[in-house]
Amino acid sequence: MSKQHIIAATDVASTLEQLLREIEYDRLYVLTDGQTAQLCYPLVAQAVGDAHQITIPAGDDNKHVDSLCHVWSELSAHGATRHSLLINVGGGMVTDLGGFAAATFKRGISCINVPTTLLAMVDAAVGGKTGINLHSLKNEVGAFYPADAVVVSSQFLHTLDAPNLASGFAEMLKHGLISTEEHWAGLMRYDLNSPNLEALQPLIMESIRTKEHIVEQDPKEQHIRKALNLGHTLGHAFETLAMRRGTPCLHGYAVAWGLVGELYLSHVREGFPADKLRQTISFIKEVYGTSPFTCKDYDELFALMQHDKKNVGTEIRFTLLGGIGDIRIDRTATKEEIFEMLDFVREC
């Protein structure tokens, strides 16, 4: 898998305009959702000129095969060829689905990601993973297909509300935990209550470098890339259960609650330091509140964790930490230990 070209942009339109001059393509298409079409497309409109715009409904519950078919149909109806270029302007839903559309249309066309949410900038838009949900299961169908380039600009963050900014920051916190104490400490000092978005840009790029470094070593998630799943075995279960019940939660909030549980498991199983555990959980509780799930949900959460793609056979596998940056992949836990972990999350 080729390395992605990550570009930090202060002026997204001029950066994208320059990038398009350097790429060969015959026809240009831009994918947005209903929200980014209104809030974010104007920032790139000058650069993309008369590109055909494709719009899908906003929200992760629309990251399904019907939306994918709509993108395929629009590309086909408007003359896209295997030499065409698709620009995905949006959050993780758009870059995931748009990347998968690019990976599969004509057996693969070029694409550029222009992430417009913090979550997409540090997670979905980089690393080459694409996909859609199947029924209520997150990212059940997809492909590894890195975009030709990713244009990252804090300009878009002015369009975000506080919960969506916090949602993306949870993935940055995960990156801090799997990298260095300096990175982690810098994130812990950042004031999400009064965010300085310009000061956030270098932290974003550091977070992206952490992910890139891991992806370069293990593009297809056979070994160390599993480090990026910290907080996600439990977090995806929280997210899927909330979606099933018609009360969806933001991805980063589910990951933050998942980090609480998996750092606890790291502490009791791998010796993760108690002081770092307390500091991280205190930060998460202040920003993300507490998980809304109860002991009545344990069996369903356990069943959802059994569907996790990292599992082998019937074993539920976690990424845990012995300390900040001390990554322990493919760790297993018994049902009893998992229920104790859920007790800890509920009681925090």
Identical fold for domains 5-159 and 162-347, yes or no, is no
The CATH homologous superfamily for domain 162-347 is: Dehydroquinate synthase-like - alpha domain (1.20.1090.10)
Pick from 231, 179, 241: nearest CA to 210:
179
Domain ranges across the chain: 5-159, 162-347
The amino acid occupying position 90 is G
Place of tokens 């279960």: 237
163-221: pLDDT as tens digits? 999 999 999 999 999 999 999 999 999 999 999 998 899 999 999 999 999 999 998 88
Indicate if the pLDDT at residue 72 is higher than 70.
yes
**pLDDT of res. 1:** 47
How much is the CA Rg of the chain, to the nearest whole Å? Answer: 20
H helix intervals, 90-231? 92-104, 118-119, 162-177, 181-189, 197-217
Indicate if the pLDDT at residue 3 is higher than 70.
no
Task: Say which CATH class 5-159 falls into.
Answer: alpha beta
Place of tokens 């095969």: 65
H helix intervals, 78-154? 92-104, 118-119
The amino acid occupying position 72 is W
Mean pLDDT within 97-117: 98
245-259: pLDDT as tens digits? 999 899 999 999 999
Indicate if the pLDDT at residue 348 is higher than 70.
yes
- Cα(50)–Cα(45) distance, integer angstroms: 8
Q: Are 236 and 251 in contact (CB under 8 A)?
A: no
Question: What's the mean per-residue pLDDT of the chain?
Answer: 95
Task: Provide the token pair at 321.
Answer: 């930490």
Mean pLDDT within 11-32: 97
Q: CB count, 10 Å around CB of 198?
A: 11
Q: Are 228 and 172 in contact (CB under 8 A)?
A: no
Task: Provide the token pair at 144.
Answer: 């590894």
Q: Are 108 and 81 in contact (CB under 8 A)?
A: no
Pairing mode, strands 110-115 and 85-90: parallel
Residue 333 sits at the vertex; the CA angle it makes with 237 and 257, to the nearest 5 degrees, is 35
- Which residues have C-beta within 8 Å of that of residue 302, sequence separation ≥ 6? 237, 316, 335, 338, 339
Helix (H) or strand (E) holding 280: helix 274-288
**pLDDT of res. 2:** 56
Q: Assign 139 a pLDDT band (cuts: 50, 70, 90).
A: confident
> Quick one: DSSP state of residue 105?
G
- Which residues have C-beta within 8 Å of that of residue 61, sequence separation ≥ 6? 133, 243, 248
309-333: pLDDT as tens digits? 777 777 999 999 999 999 999 999 9
Mean pLDDT within 104-132: 96
